[in-house]
């Protein structure tokens, strides 16, 4: 024990400071700015209250500084920095620069931490702590079983996710599945009103003349694009994996699209016609397709060729996955194989491909999810949102509208995604029959 | 006799030279020779040209003047560099302020999503939880599930909570582990924490550390690389997300969303009809390039963390 005397000042300071800081923190974390429709009185009150809070904040910290002059200079310096931060943020708040509220968010926890550290030494030595410890040890005697304890601990660690799972995923899944059998509309006054209609939504979608071509072109796009991406990324990964200089540069280049591809960029590039290779447009491939194939397959193929480069942009993550897999395969296997007389061709089919086969399934899942969820112009995703926002007044004119139809369409879309994934993964995991000896 | 020996020597010398040249060009194993290397380089360069073609197209077209845009003779190099495109686009996006706004908005999301993912990943990796497999399978379902399936009812929930139309409608899912691609982040942390030696946990427990202390004093400091990776990807993905953000927040907190409304805000700033103010493709492309600039800078600074992420996270190990 360092000092037996109980200092009273830290307790008082903490009793004042902690509630205040907690209050400030909660306020700044949770404050919702009702900027629209705010009255002048509210506005003035808002700024005044903030200003007063900051003033109180300032006074208390000045007090702490005065009271603690004898202590280490480093802590005083930290307090001074804290003061400066608070001062700056008060000024910025008054000037209504919202984005600098980061400092406001960060400052209370930092100051709180500093304060705790400072008081901590005294706190741990105090008699109070011994008292608390004694009470604690009484409770500790009843120990739980190890398994129960571990399960409880684990659940408490994953509890945020569990709450999110139930509230934001499981309940919405069940509810939106229920909505698929209803006709539902949203009204500001009454909320969602739904009337059960049975399978009407499903039948409507199958009959609809705009949705079905969308879904079929989605399927054809997937069937062509997914193998294309897998093969392309495998080729690139194998090229980069060769003993050449500047591997980092190539990785950087081929990963770049992952960083920059967002909805607006992709649709702008598509609109500008920068997404197809010029040589494809100049050659007669498109005409050939249009003249010789049926419309149902020619149109999706044409749009695929026109956006070929963007399709390849989805290969960014797959390339890295394959590259990591290739680098993990043991090089001695290759040496042994080449001693046995296997050429590069055989080595690829007999060693490389089997060793990265599990990765291909991962890549397929990734690519399908990534491509399906990309909100491109005229995709099913955008269509779903449009349908959801449509009002009852358009219903009956043959158009899909409302929450029920939107939910149905998204469930069908999800089902198609699963089918695509399942078919591809099933295809690559077909085992060739072992020849009988 | 002498002649024959000399001839033989010459022959051997010539043979050696040929072998040497052969070795340089073809190499011992074919894949370490010069021919192969040149072949690889040509392939890689042409593939990366194809790959980066849209970007190059954007860069070249964004500095073109109107006459260059129409002129079919001008393909890559414009006759005159039109800086005005960038000046206009810069103004239309509302540039210096919007970067801070966007960064601040995305930063919050990325930080919360990293913290939650670390906690949940640690929980899954360290403790024996009943129904662990079921729960992890549900997590994967969450990754595959399109947001539209949930959209309808989540909008209802947010309306009840009163957070619809505010940025909390993005923050709440991030805090509760249901943000954008958060299943991937949780899996990254799971993979990392699984390899962490349990002996250290036990010894800390004997020394009297509480589970939370063990987490943030022993395990978390070693998870630095995973934290950086998850944070960076969360940042990039939240930045690029436009569909969900536009639906839930009903505002334009990020640059990509501003760019989506580029045409409208351009016409508000330069009303159509005034001479020299027509919106052309070059200005639009300049706007897009300005929009991706912050991410490009981030990428080139943190490039190693992005590209080595997949090796580190162990996705390829399973």
Are A32 and B156 within 8 A, CB to CB? no
- Give the mean model confidence (pLDDT) for residues B203-223: 81
Give B-chain residues touching A151 at CB under 8 angstroms.
127-130
pLDDT band with cut points at 50, 70 and 90 for residue A32: very low
Q: How far apart are CA B312 and CA A194, in angstroms?
A: 49
Pairing type for strands A182-187 and A191-196 reads: antiparallel
- Answer whether residue B99 shows pLDDT above 50: yes
Say if residues A208 and A405 touch (Cβ distance below 8 Å): no
Instruction: Kindly determine whether residue B51 and residue A325, on different chains, have CB atoms separated by under 8 Å.
Output: no
Among A97-101, B84-88, B202-206, whose mean pLDDT is lowest? Answer: A97-101
Contact A265/B259, CB-based, under 8 Å? yes
> For chain A, give me the number of helices (H) and strands (E)?
23, 2
Instruction: Assign A1 a pLDDT band (cuts: 50, 70, 90).
Output: very low
N residues, chain A: 437
**CA B307 to chain CA mean position, Å:** 9
Cβ count within 10 A of residue A95 = 8
Chain A residue with Cα closest to B130: A151
Q: How many helices (H) and strands (E) does chain B have?
A: 19, 0
Whether B315 has its CB under 8 Å from any CB of chain A: the answer is yes
Q: What is the pLDDT of residue A34?
A: 47
Q: Give the residue among A55, A66, A313, A121 at the shortest CA–CA distance from B52.
A: A313
Q: Cα(B134)–Cα(B287) distance, rounded to whole angstroms?
A: 46
In terms of Cα–Cα distance, which of A114, A328, A309 is closest to B311? Answer: A328
Gap between the Cα atoms of B39 and A420, Å rounded? 36
Q: Report the candidate in A279, A165, A304, A294 with the shortest Cα–Cα distance to residue A223.
A: A304
Interface ipTM above 0.90: no
B138 to A165, B116, B122, B143, B206: CA distances (angstroms): 8, 17, 17, 9, 35
> Hey, which residues 41-70 in chain A have their CB within 8 Å of chain B?
none
- Give the burial class of B138: count Cβ atoms within 10 A of its Cβ; 0-12 exposed, 13-18 middle, 19 or more buried: middle
Both structure tokens of A2: 């360092």
Per the CB < 8 A criterion, the answer to whether A409 and A176 are in contact is no
Residues A353-381 pLDDT 10s: 888 888 888 888 888 888 888 777 777 88
Burial (CB count within 10 angstroms: exposed 0-12, middle 13-18, buried 19+), residue A148: exposed
Chain segment A167-213, per-residue pLDDT in tens: 888 888 888 888 888 887 877 666 677 777 878 888 888 887 778 88
Question: Shortest CB distance from B310 goes to which of A260, A324, A406?
Answer: A324
User: In terms of DSSP H, where are the helices of A31-158?
Assistant: 40-67, 73-94, 101-125, 127-140, 146-157
- Could you identify the residue written with the tokens 């070059």? B282
Spatial CA neighbour of A67 closest among A126, A12, A24, A20: A12
Higher pLDDT, B72 or A61: B72
Residue in chain B lying closest to A177 (CA): B149
Q: Looking at residue A110, what is its pLDDT?
A: 54
Q: In this prediction, what percent of chain A has a pLDDT beyond 70?
A: 59
The kind and range of the H/E element at A407 are: helix A402-428
What are the residues whose beta carbons fall under 8 Å from the beta carbon of A401, sequence distance 6 or more? A185, A387, A390, A391, A392, A394, A395
Query: 3-state class of A4 per DSSP?
Result: coil
Q: Is the pLDDT of residue A142 over 70?
A: no
- Over the stretch B286-302, which tens digit does the pLDDT of each residue have? 888 888 888 888 888 88
Judge whether residue A237 has pLDDT over 60: yes
Query: For B57-78, what is the mean pLDDT?
Result: 76
Predicted local confidence at residue A46, as pLDDT: 59
Residue A43 has a pLDDT of 54
Residue pair A365/B233 in contact by the 8 Å Cβ criterion: no
Q: Rounded to the nearest 5°, which phi and psi values hold at A196?
A: -65, 135
Q: How many CB pairs below 8 Å do chains A and B form together?
A: 289
> In the structure encoding, which two tokens stand for residue B91, read together?
């103004």
Tell me how far apart the alpha carbons of residues A280 and A285 are, in angstroms, rounded to a whole number.
7
Q: Do A130 and A6 touch, CB atoms closer than 8 A?
A: no
Q: Which residue has the higher pLDDT, B128 or A23?
A: B128
State whether A172 and B154 contact (CB < 8 Å): yes
**pLDDT over 80 at A47, yes or no:** no
Q: Do B138 and A165 touch (CB under 8 A)?
A: yes
Inter-chain contact B127–A414, Cβ cutoff 8 Å? no
B135 touches chain A (CB under 8 A): yes
Q: What is the mean pLDDT of residues A69-77?
A: 53
Residues 238-277 of A with CB under 8 A from B: 239-240, 242-244, 248, 250-265, 268-269, 272, 274-275, 277
For residues B212-250, one letter each, b for 16 or more C-beta atoms within 10 angstroms of the residue's C-beta and e for the rest, the string is eebbeeebbeebeebbbbbbbbbbbbbbbbbbbbbbbbe
Supply the pLDDT for residue B40: 82
d(CA B277, CA B61): 18
pLDDT for the residue numbered A3: 46
Q: Which residues of chain B does A369 touch, with a Cβ-Cβ cutoff of 8 Å? A: 143-144
pLDDT for the residue A67:
53
Rounded to a whole number of angstroms, the distance from the CA of B83 to the nearest CA of chain A is 20
pLDDT at A56: 62
Q: Which residue of chain A is at minimal alpha-carbon distance from B121? A: A158
In the prediction, which pLDDT does A2 show?
45
∠ Cα B151 B154 B155 (to 5°): 85
Q: Write the CB contacts of B13 (distance below 8 Å, at least 6 apart in sequence).
A: none
> Per the structure block, which two tokens stand in for B136?
């992890």
Q: State the pLDDT at residue A282.
A: 67
- Cβ(B120)–Cβ(B184) below 8 Å: no
């Amino acid at each position: 024990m360092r000092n037996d005397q109980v200092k009273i000042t830290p307790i008082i300071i903490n009793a004042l400071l902690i509630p205040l800081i907690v209050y400030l923190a909660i306020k700044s974390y949770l404050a919702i700015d009702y900027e629209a429709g705010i009255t002048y009185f509210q506005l003035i009150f808002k700024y005044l209250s903030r200003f007063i809070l900051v003033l109180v904040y300032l006074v208390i910290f000045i007090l702490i500084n005065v009271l603690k002059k004898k202590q280490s200079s480093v802590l005083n310096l930290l307090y001074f920095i804290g003061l400066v931060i608070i001062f700056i943020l008060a000024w910025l708040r008054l000037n209504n620069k919202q984005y600098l509220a980061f400092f406001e968010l960060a400052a209370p926890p930092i100051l709180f931490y500093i304060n705790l550290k400072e008081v901590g030494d005294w706190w741990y030595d105090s008699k109070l702590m011994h008292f608390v410890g004694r009470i604690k040890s009484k409770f500790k005697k009843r120990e739980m079983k190890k398994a129960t304890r571990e399960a409880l601990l684990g659940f408490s660690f994953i509890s945020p996710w569990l709450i999110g799972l139930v509230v934001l995923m499981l309940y919405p899944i069940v509810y939106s599945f229920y909505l698929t059998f209803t006709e539902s509309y949203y009204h500001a006054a009454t909320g969602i009103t739904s009337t059960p209609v049975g399978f009407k939504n499903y039948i409507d979608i199958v009959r609809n003349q705009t949705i079905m071509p969308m879904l079929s072109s989605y399927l054809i796009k997937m069937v062509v694009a997914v193998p294309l991406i897998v093969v392309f990324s495998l080729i690139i990964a194998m090229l980069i994996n060769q003993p050449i200089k500047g591997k980092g540069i190539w990785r950087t280049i081929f990963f770049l699209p992952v960083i920059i591809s967002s909805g607006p960029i992709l649709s702008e590039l598509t609109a500008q016609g920068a997404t197809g290779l010029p040589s494809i447009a100049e050659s007669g491939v498109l005409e050939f397709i249009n003249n010789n194939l049926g419309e149902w397959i020619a149109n999706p193929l044409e749009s695929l060729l026109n956006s070929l480069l963007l399709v390849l942009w989805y290969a960014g993550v797959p390339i890295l996955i394959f590259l990591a897999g290739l680098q993990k395969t043991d090089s001695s296997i290759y040496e042994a194989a080449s001693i046995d007389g296997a050429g590069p061709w055989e080595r690829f089919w007999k060693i490389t491909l089997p060793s990265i086969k599990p990765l291909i399934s991962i890549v397929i899942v990734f690519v399908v999810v990534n491509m399906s969820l990309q909100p491109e112009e005229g995709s099913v995703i955008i269509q779903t949102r449009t349908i959801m926002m449509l009002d009852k007044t358009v219903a009956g004119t043959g158009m899909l509208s409302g929450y029920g139809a939107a939910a149905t369409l998204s469930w069908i879309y999800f089902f198609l995604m699963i089918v695509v994934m399942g078919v591809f993964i099933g295809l690559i995991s077909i085992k060739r029959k072992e020849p009988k000896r | 006799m002498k002649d024959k020996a000399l001839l033989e020597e010459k022959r051997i010398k010539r043979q050696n030279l040929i072998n040497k040249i052969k070795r340089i060009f073809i190499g011992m194993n074919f894949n370490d020779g010069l021919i192969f290397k040149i072949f690889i380089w040509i392939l890689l360069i042409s593939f990366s040209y194809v790959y980066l073609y849209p970007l190059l197209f954007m860069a070249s077209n964004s500095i073109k003047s109107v006459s260059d845009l129409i002129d079919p003779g001008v393909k890559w190099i414009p006759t005159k560099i039109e800086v005005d495109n960038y000046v206009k686009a810069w103004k239309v996006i509302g540039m210096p302020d919007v970067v801070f706004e966007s960064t601040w908005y995305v930063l919050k999301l990325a930080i919360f999503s990293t913290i939650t993912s670390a906690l949940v990943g640690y929980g899954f990796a360290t403790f024996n939880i009943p129904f662990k497999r079921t729960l992890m399978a549900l997590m994967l379902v969450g990754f595959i599930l399109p947001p539209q399936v949930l959209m309808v009812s989540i909008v209802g929930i947010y309306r009840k909570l009163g957070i619809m139309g505010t940025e909390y409608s993005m923050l709440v899912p991030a805090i509760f582990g249901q943000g954008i691609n958060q299943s991937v982040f949780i899996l990254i942390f799971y993979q990392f924490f699984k390899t962490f030696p349990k002996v250290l946990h036990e010894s800390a427990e004997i020394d009297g550390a509480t589970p939370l202390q063990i987490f943030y004093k022993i395990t978390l400091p070693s998870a630095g690389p995973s934290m950086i990776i998850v944070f960076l990807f969360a940042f990039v993905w939240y930045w690029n997300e436009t569909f969900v953000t536009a639906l839930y927040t009903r505002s334009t907190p990020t640059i990509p969303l501003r760019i989506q409304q580029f045409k409208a805000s351009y016409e508000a700033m330069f009303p159509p009809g005034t001479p020299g103010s027509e919106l052309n493709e070059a200005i639009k492309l300049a706007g897009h390039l300005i929009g991706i600039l912050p991410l490009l800078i981030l990428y080139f600074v943190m490039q190693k963390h992005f590209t080595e992420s997949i090796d580190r996270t162990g996705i390829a190990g399973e």
